[in-house]
Amino acid sequence: MVQSMTGFAARSGVAAGVSWTVEIRGVNAKGLDIRVRAPERMTGFDQTLKTRLQKPLTRGNINVSVRTEQEAGAQAVQINEDMLDGVLKALMTTEARARDAGVELRPASATDLMSLRGVIGSGDDSAAIPPEAEVMKTADAALADFIEMRTREGAALKTVLEDSLASVEELVRQSARIAEDRKGAVAASLKSNLAIVMNNTDGADPDRVAQELALLAVKADVTEEIDRLSAHVAAARALLSEGGAMGRKLDFLMQEFNREANTLCSKSGSTELTRVGLDLKALIDQMREQVQNVE
């Protein structure tokens, strides 16, 4: 089964007067990079969630966000009693010293006390911390949706790649036919080159002449490139049918495809074969772009 590296999923939950949303986004990457953003008071939850995601995912740039919010009708304000007790004691000490020093202070109001940092909490603060076990259930559901989306996109990628491989295979067959049809012309060209060489071999090293003739023959033969392209098509199809993490292997195959297509163009010796080689290169470039999204 082919998996895409791109996807999105979001799930929400509510408990204890707090609602939360877990979002997972993924794009392509060379390796696996998971980043989790969760409320600061959910200490350690980001690492726990990251570990959970590392099991089913092998590649991709994954961003996860956990957002919490106080539910309407729930207690909007929560007093931090320990903090308030400390503030009151500090206030009494301050007033006592001010009286001793003959300094008159303005009486503190409840509003003054509530405005101090840490005395009350609301929104995404202490009153908006949901049960982590429930949030993890939501995250697991979002992860399942995320994997399902990647699977659907992977199936679409597989279809596109299989169609492209069929087109590559047809172009390779065309190359083979053109190469077969031009064997006579190639043989005639080699004979002509041989005659030229033989007429100018006075004092030449016979071994060096033989090497040059062999080199000319090799440069004119594209059989090896055609055979390798056919083998690469078969290898790519095998990978697509095996499933699992195959993106890196497919990317390597695309490089090999491109190398053989380049060599085919450089050795073509005919306008028709060059045209097929260029069509191959364009198609291989399109395949490589698609492969970048395969896990």
Q: What is the pLDDT of residue 124?
A: 45
Give tens-digit pLDDT for 137-172. Answer: 999 999 999 999 999 999 999 999 999 999 999 999
Residues 137, 166 within the same domain: no
Give tens-digit pLDDT for 191-243. Answer: 666 666 666 656 556 555 555 555 555 555 788 899 999 999 999 999 999 87
In a domain, 265, yes or no: yes
Q: What is the pLDDT of residue 153?
A: 95
Residue 141's domain spans which residues?
7-74+125-149
pTM exceeds 0.75, yes or no: no
Give tens-digit pLDDT for 84-105. Answer: 888 888 888 988 888 888 888 8
Residues 226, 280 within the same domain: yes
pLDDT beyond 90 at 128: no
Binned at pLDDT 50, 70 and 90, residue 123 comes out as: very low
What DSSP assignment string belongs to the chain?
---BS-EEEEEEEEETTEEEEEEEEEE--SSEEEEEE--TTSTTHHHHHHHHHHTT--SEEEEEEEEEEEPTTS---EE-HHHHHHHHHHHHHHHHHHHHTT---PPPPHHHHHTSTTTEE-TTSGGG---HHHHHHHHHHHHHHHHHHHHHHHHHHHHHHHHHHHHHHHHHHHHHHHHHHTHHHHHHHHHHHHHHHHTT-TT--HHHHHHHHHHHHHHH--HHHHHHHHHHHHHHHHHHHH-SS-HHHHHHHHHHHHHHHHHHHHH--SHHHHHHHHHHHHHHHHHHHHHTTB-
Residues 213, 285 within the same domain: yes
pLDDT beyond 70 at 286: yes
Number of domains within the chain: 3
Residues 171, 184 within the same domain: yes
